[in-house]
């Protein structure tokens, strides 16, 4: 009997499905030194078999198919789709996870549907009132983890406190940040700054044993004020989408600069390698997806436009979440 980690992949979810999903799955097997995980592709078996037949030179025993005849599209209303499309790749994949047929689930499909299905089917960890999505942002100190970045538009102070606990554990277990510093995103650094919700959350987190350093402003997200920054999902999602637009803006500006003169073109050409490395740190494809923290399972959510690199990295992140037992740590912490 195999003791390998099994990762269910929504192979019909991304904008480029099933090509990017399948190619990314194969790359995770071929590129990773780790051999302790297998992949279950969830989707239309005929379409998946056809696409898999185009690939060779990989361990085919490590990829299997779990048939799902339906798909939740990006246009579907999340909660309604989860209830009505029970044969969809998202619902069947998460049910597979719940029934212990898989140890984790990843999807670059409809984000709202993945969150709704994970919460309804897997359930919340005891002590968690709302799950949260945590995202990595490059900073002057490595990475800053921001939560929430879209799961909860409206939040209460208790929610923000729970986000702080869950994200602190994630930063410690996955990123290796020992006793990470935690801050609240606000409109000023003083304790009195921010709306009533932020001020109340400030008191809750300050009274806890978390390594709380107070409020920070938006400019500090890419700085070194704190390893973890907590906010509501509305603000976090705006920050996330703005940050995702930076590489495209910089590339456009570099092209414009190079076209102004031959000298500029030479300078840009000479620094091309360095610029590429810098821009890679701002590319969400490098980090794969973001974890949905607080559910009884491992769910990784990817961008709809995820390419094969992003899908590969999502799979590897799911594997690490399973190994590090992040959910067990969250349950232990919130039960105290």
Residue with tokens 């031959």: 262
Length of the chain: 336
**pLDDT exceeds cutoff 80 at 209:** yes
pLDDT digits (tens, 9 = 90+) for 122-134: 999 999 999 999 9
The whole-number average pLDDT for the span 182-197 is 91
Which of 98, 91, 101 minimizes the C-alpha distance to 4?
101
Looking at residue 97, its pLDDT comes to 97
Q: What is the DSSP letter of 125?
A: P
**pLDDT exceeds cutoff 70 at 49:** yes
Looking at residue 93, its pLDDT comes to 97
pLDDT digits (tens, 9 = 90+) for 247-299: 788 888 888 998 999 888 888 888 878 777 776 766 656 666 889 999 999 99
pLDDT digits (tens, 9 = 90+) for 38-47: 999 999 999 9
Looking at residue 231, its pLDDT comes to 95
Cα 192 to Cα 53: distance, rounded to the nearest angstrom: 61
Q: Return phi, psi of residue 306, to 5°.
A: -55, 135
Looking at residue 19, its pLDDT comes to 94
53 Cβ contact list (under 8 Å, min separation 6): none
Looking at residue 300, its pLDDT comes to 95
Cα 216 to Cα 183: distance, rounded to the nearest angstrom: 6
> What does pLDDT average to over the chain?
91
Looking at the whole model, is its pTM more than 0.95?
no
Q: What per-residue string of b and e applies to 63-88 under the rule 16 or more CB within 10 Å gives b? A: bebbebebbbeeebebeebbeebeeb
CB contact at 8 A, 94 and 118: yes
Looking at residue 211, its pLDDT comes to 97
The helix (run of H) or strand (run of E) holding residue 38 is strand 37-43
């Amino acid at each position: 009997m195999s003791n390998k980690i099994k990762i269910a992949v929504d192979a019909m979810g991304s904008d480029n499905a099933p090509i990017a999903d399948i190619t990314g799955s194969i790359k995770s097997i071929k590129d990773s030194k780790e051999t302790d995980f297998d992949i279950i592709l969830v989707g239309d078996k005929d379409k998946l078999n056809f696409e898999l037949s185009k690939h060779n030179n990989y361990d085919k025993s490590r990829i299997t198919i779990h048939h799902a005849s339906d798909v939740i599209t990006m246009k579907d209303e999340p909660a309604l789709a989860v209830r009505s499309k029970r044969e969809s790749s998202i619902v069947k994949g998460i049910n597979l996870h719940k029934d212990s047929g898989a140890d984790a689930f990843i999807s670059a499909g409809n984000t709202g549907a993945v969150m709704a299905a994970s919460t309804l089917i897997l359930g919340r960890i005891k002590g968690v009132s709302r799950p949260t999505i945590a995202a990595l942002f490059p900073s002057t100190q490595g990475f800053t983890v921001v939560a929430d970045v879209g799961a909860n538009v409206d939040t209460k102070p208790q929610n923000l406190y729970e986000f702080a606990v869950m994200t602190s554990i994630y930063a410690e277990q996955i990123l290796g940040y020992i006793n990470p510093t935690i801050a609240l995103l606000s409109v000023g650094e003083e304790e009195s700054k921010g709306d009533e919700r932020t001020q109340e959350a400030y008191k809750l987190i300050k009274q806890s044993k978390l390594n709380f350093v107070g409020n920070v402003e938006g400019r500090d997200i890419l700085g070194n004020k704190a390893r973890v920054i907590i906010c509501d999902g509305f603000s976090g999602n705006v920050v996330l989408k703005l940050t995702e637009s930076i590489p495209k803006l910089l590339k456009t500006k570099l092209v414009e600069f190079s076209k102004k003169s031959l000298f500029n073109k030479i300078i840009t050409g000479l620094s091309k390698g360095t610029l590429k490395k810098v821009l890679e740190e701002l590319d969400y494809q490098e980090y794969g997806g973001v974890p949905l923290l607080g559910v009884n399972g491992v769910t990784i959510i990817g961008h709809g436009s995820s390419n094969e690199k992003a899908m590969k990295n999502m799979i590897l992140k799911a594997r690490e979440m399973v190994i590090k037992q992040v959910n067990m740590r969250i349950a232990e912490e919130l039960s105290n």
